[in-house]
A = this chain, B = another copy of it.
Amino acid sequence: MTLEVSSAVQDYAKAIYSLEQRCDGGAVSTNALAERLGVSAASASSMVKKLDGLGIVEHVPYRGVVLTGRGMNVALEVLRHHRLLERFLAEELGVPWDRVHDEAEVLEHVLSEELEELIAAKLGHPTIDPHGDPIPTADLKIVEPATVAMDGLEVGDSGRFVRVSDSDPEMLRYLGARGIAPGEPFEIVDKQPFGGPIFARFGDAGEAHPLGGRLAAAMRVEVGA
């Protein structure tokens, strides 16, 4: 749709997009980018200079980068590939949801526009991936829903579990083994102090599941209702 950029550039654009979402407000630091991508800060720095030259980012030396419109399109195109592929692998091929991410991470760079469209059509143009992440539309619009982390909730709060990071397979297996998946309504029934676990009851199931600190922090929810 938009571009002719290498896999590396695509991954940088995607990482910058993701980091811009998190710490909203400002530019993405070279260090954060390097850590995210598992490369040295020096490598990220030199790549950032190239991305600026390509018109993917605006770079202010020592101050970080911001995606340009073009860069945003690159990121959203790859994100669409990634999330459609995750959904396709899970739904059509039965790949477990803790493994779809790594497969999609490489396939995303190699998916033609034609295949993208065929896959989207076959799946009925889905709007979220297996982890609850929104899939950008074919014309690269995306709605990032406002959510809060589950670990901030209190006893009595309820809502819907909508989304969880796709990059920690162990967490996903843990949740999967207990039948907890995005979309489930829940209610907080107990909470231990000092960063202890939070206890949530999902769906109409009887038992409450203890969710430890890191896990509850990774789970994003819609509150209310």
Contacts and interface: CB of A to CB of B under 8 A. Distances in A.
A110 interface: yes
A87 to B, nearest CB: 14
Interface string A79-91: 0000000000100
A122 interface: yes
Nearest to A89: B115
Nearest to A119: B93
A106 interface: yes
Interface string A116-152: 0011001000000000000000000000000000000
A25 interface: no
Contact of A106 (B89, B93, B99, B110): B110
Given A103-B115, A115-B103, A122 B110 contact: no
SS class of chain A's interface: helix, strand, loop or mixed? helix
Given A89-B115, A107-B110, 17 more contacts: A92-B92, A92-B122, A93-B115, A93-B118, A93-B119, A93-B122, A94-B118, A95-B114, A95-B115, A95-B118, A99-B114, A103-B112, A103-B114, A103-B115, A106-B110, A107-B107, A110-B110
A35 to B, nearest CB: 25
Nearest to A99: B114
Nearest to A110: B106
